[in-house]
Amino acid sequence: MDEHGEHTARVWVADELRFLLPPRHRHGEAMVPVDGVSSAGHLIESLGVPRTEIGELRVAGQPAEFSTRPRAGDLIEVFPVRRPQPVPEYRFILDVHLGALARQMRLLGLDTAYSNDAEDPEIVAQANREGRVVLTQDRGILRRRALRAGAYVRGSSAADQLADVLDRFDPPLAPWTRCLTCNGSLVKVDKQDVSHLLEPGTLRAYTEFSRCAACGQVYWRGAHADRLQELVAQATRRQG
Ligand SMILES: [Zn+2]
């Protein structure tokens, strides 16, 4: 590769996106080979930054598209998606590695599809069919051509991941309205209608019950650990 710019372009990536670059490119600018054919989107993706994470793009100081073809010597500037990011619908689908996040999102009432054995093409197809945003930490899914809406989730713990999703999309929350197991809607039910399904201790201790319209699972307020109550409190405070 030519370091003097005859066959290369320079890429500057905003701080918020640098963690996606290989370590050797995390400081300063990266040099990428240009051939007059490769698009800016392709060149940036080859450095590890998915298109879903990019808001504004500039080439040689001008606003550019992913399809713009940089020339030798150009500076390509890459800025992150602005937050909160508007989406047509607040519906999501998570990849197989984000099961803990899926439960937390459902607890907050977010429409969250998740299956622990879905293949990447199935996830993308379901997302497009149902108007869902794919949430993942797998850049391979985000590179798929068929993908319409996706996001790379930051954070290693489910709590950090949830904070990132709430910060990125600022979705309306409706805690305790969705089944944690299947994402179905919860419907309030009278105690006597579910009493045959419950332990006597549960019946004595709780008064509010709901049932998943899809899978039949029964829920009672207060049944979840304090940790989950705290999660709801934290998330609703953020939006407060
Ligand atoms: Zn259910």
Give 81's DSSP letter. Answer: P
- Nearest Cα to Cα of residue 33 among 57, 5, 54: 5
Q: Residue 5 pLDDT more than 60? A: no
**Mean pLDDT across 63-88:** 96
- Residue 2 has a pLDDT of 45
Q: 9: CA distance to ligand 1 center in Å?
A: 52
Q: 194: CA distance to ligand 1 center in Å?
A: 15
Give 9's DSSP letter. Answer: E
- Nearest Cα to Cα of residue 136 among 54, 56, 50, 23: 50
- Residue 228 has a pLDDT of 67
Q: Residue 196 pLDDT more than 50? A: yes
pLDDT in tens, 175-184: 889 999 999 9
Q: What percent of the chain has a predicted confidence (pLDDT) above 70? A: 94
Q: 132: CA distance to ligand 1 center in Å?
A: 19
- Nearest Cα to Cα of residue 33 among 65, 66, 4: 4
- Report the chain's mean pLDDT, rounded to a whole number: 92
Q: 185: CA distance to ligand 1 center in Å?
A: 7
Q: 201: CA distance to ligand 1 center in Å?
A: 23
Q: Can you list the pairs that 159-165 forms with residues at least 24 positions away whose Cβ atoms lie under 8 Å?
A: 159/104, 159/231, 161/98, 161/101, 162/101, 162/104, 162/105, 162/108, 162/231, 162/235, 163/238, 165/92, 165/101, 165/105, 165/135
**Mean pLDDT across 39-51:** 96
- Nearest Cα to Cα of residue 183 among 239, 101, 119: 101
Rg (CA), the chain: 22
Q: Residue 225 pLDDT more than 60? A: no
What domains does the chain contain, in order, with CATH numbers? 8-80 (3.10.20.30), 83-174+225-240 (3.40.50), 177-220 (no CATH)
Q: Residue 6 pLDDT more than 80? A: no
Q: 108: CA distance to ligand 1 center in Å?
A: 15
**Mean pLDDT across 54-73:** 96
Q: 39: CA distance to ligand 1 center in Å?
A: 45
pLDDT grade for 114, boundaries at 50, 70 and 90: very high
The residue type of 40 is A
- Nearest Cα to Cα of residue 166 among 155, 177, 182: 155
- Residue 203 has a pLDDT of 87
Question: Which residues, by Cβ under 5 Å, contact ligand 1, an ion?
Answer: 179, 181-182, 184, 212, 214-215, 217
**Mean pLDDT across 191-220:** 91
Cβ proximity of 106 and 140 under 8 Å = no
pLDDT in tens, 78-111: 999 999 999 999 999 999 999 999 999 999 999 9
